[in-house]
Amino acid sequence: MSVSHETQRKSKLTYEHYTQLPDDGNRHEIVDGVHYMNPAPIPYHQALSRHIQFQLYSAIELNNLGEVIDAPIDVQFSNHDVVQPDLVVVLKGNNIATRTKLKGTPDLIIEILSPSTSSRDEGLKKELYEQNHVPEYWVVDPDEKAVRKYTLTNGQYAAPQRCTESITFDGLPNVSVDLTKIW
């Protein structure tokens, strides 16, 4: 179950507040200064993440083209926006990695839907990623066995492409994920 503390605070939370949240095994995020908490993902969710990460790792990291990072990793867009996507791709030359987090815009963000996060992943977080010009955003839907691929065009996400067999990462030529191998 996802929890929001929006009604409990009148002022926006900051990254400093975020760093003081308890290390309780849950995933914490702050979007527009509002705290959200989710329990750890279920094993099937993690298996999907691992299968996607393996294919991207093989194509990107083994060819020294960038990094594929799995959760938990902090992605800080602003002082009031810190999220922990399921997977993040940062291409070589995109210097957003600090010692403790990613600060700036990754080249690809992937979220895997779960009952506690699906409305936020496809609403609030999609808007946040669009506002911060994340070039590609993939929403993995385990129930549909499909991925919705959002591509930034003229500063906005175009209608998503629904992928069921494979999905191609536009950030690099010849990088794709065989979706038949992740379910």
Q: What is the pLDDT of residue 6?
A: 46
Q: What is the pLDDT of residue 1?
A: 43
Residue ranges in the chain whose pLDDT is less than 70? 1-10
Write down the architecture of domain 41-181 according to CATH: Alpha-Beta Complex (3.90)
Q: What is the pLDDT of residue 97?
A: 97
Q: Which amino acid is at 167?
A: I
Q: What is the pLDDT of residue 116?
A: 82
Q: What is the pLDDT of residue 149?
A: 98
Q: Give Cβ neighbours of residue 102 (< 8 Å, ≥ 6 apart).
A: 69, 73, 74, 75, 76, 88, 90, 96
Instruction: Please choose, from the candidates 32, 155, 136, 21, the residue with its C-alpha nearest in 3D space to the C-alpha of residue 82.
Output: 32
Q: What is the pLDDT of residue 80?
A: 97
Coil, helix or strand at residue 48: helix
